[in-house]
Amino acid sequence: MALSGAQAQMDQNPGYYHRLLQGERNPRLEDAIRTDLNRTFPDNVKFRKTTEPCLQETLYNVLLAYGHHNQAVGYCQGMNFIAGYLILITNNEEESFWLLDALVGRILPDYYTPAMLGLKTDQEVLGELVRAKLPAVGALMEQLGVLWTLVVSRWFICLFVDVLPVETVLRIWDCLFNEGSKIIFRVALTLIKQHQEFILEATSIPDICDKFKQITKGSFVMECHTFMQVSECGCSRGTRGSVPSPGGPALPADGHQC
């Protein structure tokens, strides 16, 4: 709350969140939000309708308030997972609203607008970074005619929610609130670099899509502290034991490879 500026915004606007919920309703906005409620963390017991209290109503309130607050955005698919995660973390409706505003309004502008220009731009930027830093992977993507949006759109739009393990996502979000959107690029490049040899085995578009799904699983991404250290320094630092990667050799148990 402090690092993102959300606490300051909430302190400067007492009662604003509740006034948004009491204001004039937008039926189109309400319908769009309600359509996605049942799709949000269906395996999480706290979001089941049979649970009391059910967090679906809290999620609805946060998304509705944000749609009224930022009418240029309204509601966009993907925001339900972001807001739902924030609710689970904070267990506080108003704090979740202001953290959502920090992400959507300031840290990731134009990600969740109807045209999603910021999202599309950043996916292309990732492609340029891969071509510069991992040219073999970049060349394979071009050779197979794979659009980056096909393999990484969920990474960006959901900020790795339901892509990476919970503990790792929370560490990523800590850095995201503190340092901004460059963290998304660091994480994406780390995943690709760590499994470069595995990705280069792909021979078709379905094959490469499957490999991009597989690289978000396994013990490397489960070790959230090691993973974030690797993302931060651009090296593969080992801890006690080795960290296997799908289709590739284990990292060294001690020392690092830059």
The per-residue pLDDT string of the chain (258 residues; one tens digit each, 9 = 90 and over) reads 999 999 999 999 999 999 999 988 899 999 999 999 999 999 999 998 888 889 999 999 999 999 999 998 999 988 999 999 999 999 999 999 999 999 998 999 889 888 888 999 999 999 999 999 999 999 999 999 999 999 999 999 999 999 999 999 999 999 999 999 999 999 999 999 999 999 999 999 999 999 999 999 988 999 888 888 888 765 433 332 333 333 333 333 333 332
**What amino acid occupies position 154?**
R
- In CATH terms, the fold of domain 10-107 is Helicase, Ruva Protein; domain 3 (1.10.8)
Q: Where are the domains of the chain?
A: 10-107, 118-234
The answer to whether domain 10-107 and domain 118-234 are alike in fold is no
**Which candidate, 40, 180, 162, 26, places its Cα nearest to that of 111?**
180
Residue 100 tokens read as 């959502």
- Rounded alpha-carbon distances, angstroms, from residue 15 to 28, 60, 68, 140: 25, 18, 15, 53
Topology, domain 118-234: Cyclin A; domain 1 (1.10.472)
Whether residue 154 contacts residue 213, with contact meaning beta carbons closer than 8 Å, is answered with no
